[in-house]
Amino acid sequence: MTEHRIPIVARGEVIEDYELTFNGRYGASFQCPDASKYLDRILLPSRREMEALYALSLDDVLDYLVEFGAHLDLASNPHLQWAAELTRTFNDVPSHLVEGAMAGFGSSFLKRDHLEAMIETVGREHLDGWKAHERANGRISHIRAFGVPTAHVIAGNGPSPAMMTFVRNALVRGYAIVKIPSNELGTAVALARTAIDMAPDHPLTRAFSAVYWRGGDAAFETKLYHPRNVERIVAWGGFASVTHIAKYIRPGIDLVTFDPKISRSILGEGTLASDESMREAAIRLADDVGNGNQNGCTNARIAYVVCDMSEEAIVACKRLGQMVYEEVQNLPSAISSPAIHMDADFKARIAALSMLDDEYHVIGGDERGGVIVSLEGDQVDFADDLKYRTLNLVPVRDYDALLRYVTRDVQTVGVYPEHVRDELRTVLALHGVQRITSLGYMREYNASIDPHDGNEALRKMCTWVVAEDCMTHYSPAQWRQREQAEANRP
């Protein structure tokens, strides 16, 4: 059996003292060093370590990242190859999708114009120096956005969260300690090692550490999550993981969360009006459902169809469901493929719905995917857990009927036709939805530029510091006022 060994990369240094064994997903185990033992090497010895980051200009940072992108070619980078290989054992995202995501690192994510767009979300003037603001009372406020030592508890459903974290940390010039997820063990380490190969002593290389510890390991986390060590925790992850992190939050540590989300589609009135509109909606919806094998938070799991609920409308919904199923099968294999294995529980749930044929109409439902049409307009209980390219199509009489299902767990809503967005965006936002987009574009979410799960992520990862100049314009101070009043007295 292959030994899977996950080193700690601490501030530019690779630690390979494989002492502990952990169980990963799908039965395989891996070894890694004892993070507790190396905590002092993971932590900054002093905040003065960060001064080197601020000796760089933002253009130096950009140059570093663009060059870094050039080193992230999967065909020639052994670290990325190692990380991609690990996902075959520890992750259920098919490897060609993992490799596809990795291919985007250098070819699009780390391109200069993309990085500039990310900078734009904070403002170059705040990241590259002190931006002066003249205040009404004469004070000049110089404001700068600073990165701070931050623990990043990232998601493991693909290699992108590690990449995003690397870049975000570099742009804000923080110090990142990435908690490696148990189902995506390789990417953070691969990025750190690539940086070491490229520029071992560069301050940005030394500003990114990757460490595995078992999430919830109170002995380690109590030591790590102290304001002396980290001032911010950026947590991607479920209710359970955020709840347990929340107990470490106190004055001095703040929390930025990107919780797991689900996404849905709304097909407005008129969708069922013609074969053309149904086919158009089906083609677009199929991409939203199947692209990336429905592993992402942006994938559609439910589509509401606004209709009069008449017998004809229900028949049309079944036909629409059939079309979506067919179009899912037509997706190119580079972006979507049948499930490698389906878990027994999911099969049992689908089998149960297949039997309840007065209430549900099930199309497919095997490794190739499926569509469940809710004949009475009630979405299925496990709608948020739909996977293997399975969609729940829910006919509803009007918007009110679907809004009762919409909570802040819904990240993206894909709409068809376009006017649905204009009618609903405010209402959806008030129900907690964070992104509304055109049907067929749900997967094309660029959370590094647009708001991420309701957050201005990069801004929120900054600590905003003001350096005030009260003397240049001789802004009158409180303690000065009495003196002046006395001097002015006749």
Partner 1 sequence: MIDEFKEEFADDPRCVLNYPVEVLDAVAPGELDDIHLDLARRRFASAMADIPFIAQLALLNNIAEVSAFDDLVPLLYTHEVFKSYPQAWLENGDFKRLTKWLGKLCAADLSQVDTSQCELIEDWMAALIAQSEIDVQISASADGKSAFMPRSHGEWAFLQQMNLKGLRTAKNAQGEVTGLEPGVDRVPLVYLGARRGARSMSRFLDLYEETYGEGLVDTLFENSDSDLLSLAGRIREASRKGEAVQVRPELLARKDDIARINADRPARMEALMQRMLNDYKGKRIFCFGTMQLVYDLAVRFREMGVTGAYAPDSLFMCGSGFANGVEPPNWKQEVVEVLGIPESAIRVGYSMQEALWSMNKCDHDRFHMPASIIPYVLDENDKPLPREGRQTGRFAFFDLLPDTAWGGFATGDKVTVTWDEPCGCGRRSAHLDSPITRIVTTQEDKITCAGTAGALEEATDFLLKS
Binding site for partner 1 (CB under 8 A): 22-27, 181-182, 214-216, 239-241, 243-244, 341, 343-345, 347-356, 359, 365-366, 378, 380-381, 407-409
Closer to partner 1 at the Cβ: 312 or 366? 366
Minimum Å gap between C-beta 415 and partner 1 is 24
Closest contact distance (angstroms) between CB of 326 and partner 1 is 19
Smallest distance, Å, CB 474 to partner 1? 53
Between 215 and 417, name the residue whose CB sits nearer to partner 1: 215
The CB-of-26 to partner 1 minimum distance in angstroms stands at 5
Report how far apart, in Å, the C-alpha atoms of 479 and of each of 221, 467, 476 are: 47, 20, 8
Nearest CB to partner 1, comparing residues 27 and 45: 27
Q: Least separation, in Å, of the C-beta of 322 and partner 1?
A: 18
- Decide: 278 and 271 in contact? Cβ < 8 Å: yes
Instruction: DSSP letter for 252, please.
Output: T
> Which is nearer to partner 1, 139 or 347 (by Cβ)?
347
**Residue whose pair of structure tokens reads 């589509």 in the numeric block:** 303
Could you tell me the smallest distance in angstroms from the CB atom of residue 336 to partner 1? 21
Question: Which bin fits 304, alpha (ψ -120 to 50), beta or left (φ > 0)?
Answer: beta
Q: How far is the CB of 313 from partner 1 (least distance, A)?
A: 21
How far, in Å, CA of 273 to CA of 24, rounded? Answer: 49
Q: State which residue, 147 or 181, has the beta carbon closest to partner 1.
A: 181
CB nearer to partner 1: pick between 357 and 422: 357
Are residues 9 and 40 in contact, defined by beta-carbon separation less than 8 angstroms?
A: no
Closest separation in Å from C-beta 31 to partner 1: 13
Please check whether residue 49 is in contact with residue 43, taking contact to mean a CB–CB distance below 8 angstroms.
Answer: no
Query: Which C-beta is closer to partner 1: that of 349 or that of 452?
Result: 349
Cβ of residue 344: shortest distance to partner 1, in angstroms? 5
Comparison of 434 and 437: residue with beta carbon closer to partner 1 = 434
Please, is 45 exposed, middle or buried when counting C-beta atoms within 10 Å of its C-beta (0-12, 13-18, 19+)? Answer: exposed
- Sign for the CA dihedral angle at 311, 315, 316, 321 comes to positive
36 vs 81 by CB, closer to partner 1: 36
Task: Annotate 434-461 with b (16+ C-beta within 10 A) or e (fewer).
Answer: bbbbebbebbebebbbeebbbbebbeeb
Q: Which is nearer to partner 1, 129 or 216 (CB)?
A: 216
Distance of closest approach, residue 302 Cβ to partner 1, in angstroms: 14
Angle between helices 311-329 and 275-290 (to 10 degrees): 50
How far separated are the first and last CA of the chain, in Å rounded? 95
Number of H helices, E strands in the chain: 17, 19
- Residue 29's CB: how many other CB atoms inside 10 A? 13
Rounded Cα distance between 484 and 490, Å, is: 12
Burial code (b: 16+ CB inside 10 Å, e: under 16) for 261-271 equals bbbbbbbbeeb
Q: Tokens for 400?
A: 């009110």
Element at 100 (helix H, strand E): helix 95-104
